[in-house]
Amino acid sequence: MGTGTIRQLLILGVAMVTCLFGRAYAQSTINTEYIDGVEYVRLADICRTYNLRPKASQNGMHTYGGSHRVSLIPARQDFYVNNYRYVLSYPIKSYGGELMISSTDVSKLVDPVLRPRFSKNASTLRTVVIDPGHGGHDAGAVSPYAREKDCNLAVALKLRRLLRERGYKVVMTRDTDVFLTLQQRVQIANSCPDSIFVSIHHNSGRRAAEGIETFTLAPHGTTSPFARTRRTADLAGNDQDSENIALATAVHSRAIKNTKAVDRGIQRARFSVLCTIKRPAILFEGGFVSNPTEGGLISSSKYQDTLALSICNGIEAYGATVCKRAPGRKAGKNSRVVVKGTGSKTRTSISGAQMSRGGISSRSSAKQQKGNKRG
């Protein structure tokens, strides 16, 4: 990068820094740099703020310990918190001998994930809008092992039963095999006050493609590989950026832990149902119907039970951490957004054995991106 593309900016205004990243920076002076037009922060400052200490640096992956286990790779967008995978909006950069992370990723991902907390924006969580993807003439992904619209509905109905047992009001965008437009699904969600929106899908791709991934809306100003358009402007869903990533974390981490599926990560997208929704929203992809093993699992009632319970526990944890407490509802034992490591052998992206073979994370993410067709 040339000097023409980089301009250094020293921000001394404490108020501005506080506005960007929250109260943790109030006592700090943070230097930011613009690299290729994107504002970046020194990783050392982030580590100091979140009590992270360098732990290991091996085969290009840097790991930090302390309050959480965090791993990252310079020049890549992979970011792991306690072994769960996130995809950053911008790659980690090296600049002046320091690793840098974008300001957007700090405020929209790092902070709400490392310090999930009560959100002033979040209303009381009373209602969950469950959206089983596709339906009617739109079967979604189809394979010899499963048909997506059926699996989406099966998981959704099991989730409805679990949520009702825990006292939530549940609104289904569909509870039979009917077709709805994406706009109809969004209208249903936006008409429900004090709600969150959980869209349930399953994937298809190459036979070998497998794993679970969860999508939230891309932050304002960023591009997404899963955008329907190149627009980067603010969207209605961006009002809930912190709630979106907290909900995704709570649901995704439990699904990976309970199923032992491959962790394809929490990713950013501008899918239609995420763009114009005015409630915290995620799109959950419970696995690949095109994979012989996973497709068989997805069509089994037992696996669907596991997915439904994981989503339910995630929703409850999200509500207990981020939202105002609904009257009469007490926090259950699963009720906290805590991103704990699982030690699962299926999520080997940062295990020592994998790293010694030359950085599995690069190879696995390339495979993940290539194998994915939106289902």
Q: For binding to Zn ion (CB under 5 A), which residues are involved?
A: 133, 140, 201, 375
Task: Provide the minimum distance between the beta carbon of 249 and Zn ion in the complex, in angstroms, as a whole number.
Answer: 22
Task: Provide the minimum distance between the beta carbon of 61 and Zn ion in the complex, in angstroms, as a whole number.
Answer: 32
Task: Provide the minimum distance between the beta carbon of 374 and Zn ion in the complex, in angstroms, as a whole number.
Answer: 7
Nearer to Zn ion, 105 or 213 (CB): 213
User: In degrees to the nearest 10, what's the CA dihedral of 58, 61, 62, 65?
Assistant: -90
Nearer to Zn ion, 16 or 139 (CB): 139
Task: Provide the minimum distance between the beta carbon of 351 and Zn ion in the complex, in angstroms, as a whole number.
Answer: 31
Nearer to Zn ion, 42 or 252 (CB): 252
Nearer to Zn ion, 140 or 314 (CB): 140
Instruction: State the DSSP string of 162-199.
Output: HHHHTT-EEEES-SSS----HHHHHHHHHTSTTEEEEE
Task: Provide the minimum distance between the beta carbon of 127 and Zn ion in the complex, in angstroms, as a whole number.
Answer: 23
Instruction: State the DSSP string of 239-292.
Output: GGHHHHHHHHHHHHHHHHHHH---EEEEEEEB-HHHHS--S-EEEEEEEETTSH
Task: Provide the minimum distance between the beta carbon of 140 and Zn ion in the complex, in angstroms, as a whole number.
Answer: 4
> CA angle at residue 279 from 79 to 205, to 5 degrees?
50
Nearer to Zn ion, 79 or 215 (CB): 215
Closest residue to Zn ion in the complex (CB) = 201
Query: Residues 63-69: contacts with CB within 8 Å, 24+ apart?
Result: 63/350, 67/114, 68/114, 68/339, 69/341
Tokens 């009590």 — which residue? 51
Nearer to Zn ion, 144 or 221 (CB): 144
Q: Please count the residues of the chain.
A: 375
Task: Provide the minimum distance between the beta carbon of 204 and Zn ion in the complex, in angstroms, as a whole number.
Answer: 8
Nearer to Zn ion, 69 or 149 (CB): 149
User: Is the CB of residue 61 less than 8 Å from the CB of residue 350?
Assistant: yes
Task: Provide the minimum distance between the beta carbon of 196 and Zn ion in the complex, in angstroms, as a whole number.
Answer: 19
User: Is the CB of residue 172 less than 8 Å from the CB of residue 156?
Assistant: yes
Listed residue (267, 265, 284, 136) closest to 196, CA to CA: 284
Nearer to Zn ion, 133 or 265 (CB): 133
Burial 236-254 (b: 16+ CB within 10 A, else e): bbbbbbbbbbbbbbbbbbb
